[in-house]
Every structure is written in structure tokens, then in C-alpha cells.
């Protein structure tokens, strides 16, 4: 096992259960192995030179380790290399609904899970969200079906993984600090389909270019009524028949959440679930934090936390879903993304913008072509400036459009900081 994080430890435990001789390798120190089970050989301070004399029948790599790195490539030259999700799937006999896309994966995974649970199938969310699949298989009651979120990092390292239903939400450039090109990133995500047959189903956003697909295709859309599933943001219909009233029967709001709900419904119906079960499954559901989360309304201004928006497409979706004038707060780590496609919708939806973090100045220079933009250093400064620019009836939207690792440990800490600072406003 390469990587002693949660997925690596779970995979090691599963391999032990199946009778393997297991070793686990990590670049960290000995303290990293605190949760590694007894019987596993431990190797701290992993480096390229460790491959000398190394041998194994199989290498299982954690998704956090860059498979393009010289370290991973050195190990991969010694034995077949797969990911933890692929490894675990070889021991899972239930049904898989696999979910991928640049944005919306986690919300859609949760919705699929709720519907599967309502249908009595378990539906545990796992993979890139929730627990590692290996961990699910070690539990006393293994679910009959799972909602499996699949990132490009996990899809890079599959061989045989085959979802009965796969969901493709959207695609936009991301992770350019890991992939050599946009094409390489998309190629990794497209692997979700490669083992599916004509007996399986693909649920995809209408208009996405995925090439020729062998499985049956079902489409969803918020713009084209010719899609199999359509939503105007209020109801979801199939062939003109209303299946769900989002406003009356759920807490889901905005076109982006309508797309997530349609994808989940279409996938579960393709799996064989009665659509009559769906409203009860989704009743009371609230989207996860950091996804257009309403923090508070102060002086007539809404403060929205969309810290999960770590790429351009997520930022575009957040702007598109707003029905109030927006003061946008954006910025963070420089991921070498091209933000020029955002200018049209920024000029349409926003009245001003504030940028912060490593990319603050170049982003402000670009955004000034669409709206008046101010560059600052920190989140606290960004909120202060945004508040001064936001009139009653508007929204201050934190939707960074990039990752957080210049100032925070992750998007969660960034969103939590925004929430805390907003609650401190008087």
C-alpha cells in the first residue's frame, strides 16, 4: 500500500482479511502509522530509492499520491498499480452507481445515497466522499448498492471497476497543477465508462461531448426541454410529467442543485427504483456546507459560503444560480487556470468583486474588465470591503474559483473562516 491515510489503512485491513501479506509505505514519519492494523509491515520516509530490491504482486496507491510523480512511477515499474477504490471493488458484489464530474459530485452522491436507502438498498456514500470503499466492505452489514463518488485521481487507477449506472455531471478544466493537460484530466474522468456494457446506463448532462458510448444514455438539463429530464429550477419533469417539486418537497434551491437532483433521480430510476419513493427520500435534505450555504442575512444582505468552488466551472455555476445582485469574493491559490471565460457572466450577475490571496492582483486586473474589482490580502479584508459595496437586497458570495492552499488547509477551513467572520459582523 502506498499511503497510510484513511484509504490506505482501509485497503491494508481488507487485504489482510483476504489473506495477503501486506506492507504499507508513506513519506511521513513513524507517527503516521498509528491506525495501521497489526500484521502490516510499515515503511516510513518513502522515497524513490526504496524501489531497489522492492517486490510485490500488487501495489495499491492512495488517491492523494500523484500517479504522475517520479515516486509513483518508480514503484509502478515494479508491479501492477491500482487505486484503493479499484482494489475494494474486486471484493464487492453489490450494485454501483458511480458519480463523476468537475462539480456537484458530493451533493449528487448524497442524493443518490438517500434514494437508495429509501428503497431499502443501503446506498452508503463512499469513495471520494464518505468512507473509502474498503472500509465499507469491512463493516458488519455491507450495503446491497452504493453511491460511489469517483474523482479523476481514483479513475486514473481502475482496471475492472464497472458501475451499473454512471453519472457524468459536467466537465471543466481543473487540477492543472497535477495533470499535464486538460485532455489528460478529461481522459482520466472518462474512464468511468470504459468497462460499462450495453446492459448499463450513463446519465449525463445534455450537451456534454463524451464521444461514442456503449451503454444506454439518459440526459438531464435546465436549459433544453428536449433532454430526458428537465428542470426550470422549481420542478423536475420527465417527458413533460412532473416528478418532483423542489420548492414544495425539498430544501434544494438553484439551478445547480436542480441538475444534481435530476442526475440522482435519473440514475436511481435507471437502477430500477420507483420514482414514487423519491420525494420522501429527499424531504428535509440540506446540501452540504460550503456549497452556496446561506450563513446569515444582515442589513438586507445575504452572505453565501460557496468555498467548495475550487475551479472556474463551480464559480460560473454559483453566479448563474443567483437571483440577487452579487458582490463576489474570489481568489486563493494560483492553479494556472484561465479565468477569462467568467467575464461575461460576472458582468451580468455581479455589481462588484473583491479578490484575495495569492491570485488576488492578477484576478482583479482581469475582473476589472467586467466589474469594478478590489484586490486585498486576506479573507477578513475581503469581507470588510464586500460589505461596504453591497446594497440592501444583494448577496455577498464567497465563490473562490480556485483552491485554498495558499492560506488555508482546505476549502473547509476557508469556508469555516468565512462563516466565523460573518457571524462576528455587527
Residue 105 annotated among the catalytic residues of the structure:
yes
- Which of the residues 128, 170, 257, 311 is marked catalytic? 128
Query: Which three-class secondary structure state does DSSP give residue 75?
Result: helix
- For 357, residues 6+ apart whose C-beta sits below 8 A from its C-beta are 331, 332, 333, 377, 400, 402, 406, 407
Distances (CA, A) of 358 to 146, 342, 384: 39, 19, 18
Query: Which three-class secondary structure state does DSSP give residue 262?
Result: helix
373-375: strand order across its sheet: 293-298, 301-305, 395-398, 326-331, 350-356, 373-375
Residue 224 annotated among the catalytic residues of the structure:
no
- Is 410 within 8 Å of 329 (Cβ atoms)? no
Kind of pairing between the strands at 395-398 and 122-127 = unpaired
- Give strand pairing partners of 96: 146
> By 3-state DSSP, what share of the chain in percent is helix, strand and coil, each rounded to 5?
35, 20, 45
By C-alpha distance, which of 257, 210, 217 is closest to 236?
A: 257
Report the alpha-carbon distance of residue 13 to residue 401 in Å, rounded.
37
∠ CA(118), CA(260), CA(139), 5° rounding?
Answer: 45
Query: Which three-class secondary structure state does DSSP give residue 261?
Result: helix
Q: Which three cell numbers stand for residue 84?
A: 484503493
- Which of the residues 103, 164, 170, 175 is marked catalytic? 175
Residue 175 annotated among the catalytic residues of the structure:
yes
- Which of the residues 105, 189, 290, 333 is marked catalytic? 105
List, by residue number, the catalytic residues: 105, 128, 175
Amino acid at each position: 500500500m502506498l499511503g497510510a491515510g484513511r484509504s490506505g489503512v482501509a485497503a491494508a485491513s481488507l487485504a489482510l482479511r483476504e489473506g495477503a501479506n501486506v506492507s504499507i509505505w508513506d513519506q511521513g514519519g513513524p507517527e503516521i502509522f498509528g491506525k495501521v492494523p497489526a500484521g502490516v509491515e510499515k515503511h516510513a520516509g518513502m522515497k524513490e530509492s526504496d524501489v531497489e530490491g522492492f517486490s510485490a504482486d500488487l501495489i495499491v496507491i492512495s488517491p492523494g499520491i500523484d500517479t504522475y510523480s517520479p515516486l509513483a512511477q518508480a514503484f509502478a515499474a515494479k508491479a501492477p498499480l491500482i487505486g484503493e477504490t479499484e482494489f475494494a471493488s474486486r471484493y464487492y458484489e453489490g450494485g454501483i452507481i458511480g458519480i463523476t464530474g468537475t462539480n456537484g459530485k458530493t451533493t449528487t452522491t448524497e442524493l443518490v445515497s438517500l434514494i437508495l436507502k429509501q428503497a431499502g438498498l443501503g446506498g452508503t456514500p463512499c469513495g471520494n466522499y464518505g468512507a473509502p470503499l474498503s472500509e465499507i466492505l469491512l463493516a458488519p452489514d455491507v450495503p446491497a448498492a452504493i453511491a460511489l463518488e469517483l474523482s479523476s485521481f481514483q479513475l486514473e487507477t481502475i482496471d475492472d471497476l464497472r458501475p451499473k449506472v454512471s453519472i457524468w455531471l459536467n466537465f471543466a478544466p481543473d487540477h492543472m497543477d497535477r495533470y499535464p493537460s486538460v485532455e489528460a484530466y478529461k481522459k482520466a474522468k472518462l474512464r468511468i465508462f470504459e468497462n460499462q456494457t450495453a446492459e448499463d446506463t450513463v446519465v449525463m448532462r445534455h450537451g456534454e461531448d463524451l464521444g461514442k458510448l456503449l451503454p444506454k444514455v439518459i440526459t438531464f438539463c435546465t436549459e433544453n426541454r428536449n433532454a430526458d429530464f428537465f428542470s426550470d429550477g422549481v420542478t423536475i419533469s420527465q417527458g413533460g410529467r412532473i416528478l418532483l417539486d423542489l420548492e414544495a418537497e425539498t430544501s434544494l434551491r438553484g439551478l445547480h442543485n436542480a441538475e444534481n437532483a435530476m442526475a440522482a433521480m435519473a440514475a436511481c430510476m435507471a437502477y430500477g427504483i420507483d420514482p414514487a419513493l423519491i420525494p420522501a427520500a429527499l424531504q428535509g435534505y440540506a446540501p452540504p456546507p460550503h456549497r452556496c450555504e446561506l450563513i446569515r442575512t444582515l442589513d438586507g444582505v445575504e452572505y453565501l459560503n460557496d468555498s467548495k468552488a475550487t475551479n472556474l466551472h463551480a464559480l460560473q455555476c454559483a453566479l448563474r444560480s443567483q437571483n440577487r445582485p452579487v458582490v463576489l469574493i474570489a481568489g486563493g491559490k494560483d492553479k494556472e487556470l484561465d479565468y477569462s471565460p467568467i467575464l461575461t457572466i460576472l458582468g451580468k450577475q455581479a455589481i462588484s468583486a473583491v479578490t484575495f490571496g495569492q491570485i488576488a492582483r492578477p484576478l482583479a486586473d482581469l475582473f476589472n474588465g467586467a466589474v469594478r474589482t478590489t484586490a486585498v490580502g486576506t479573507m477578513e479584508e475581503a469581507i470588510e470591503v464586500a460589505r461596504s459595496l453591497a446594497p440592501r437586497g444583494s448577496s455577498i458570495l464567497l465563490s473562490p474559483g480556485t483552491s485554498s492552499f495558499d492560506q488555508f488547509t482546505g476549502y473547509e477551513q476557508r469556508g469555516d473562516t468565512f462563516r466565523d467572520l460573518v457571524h462576528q459582523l455587527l
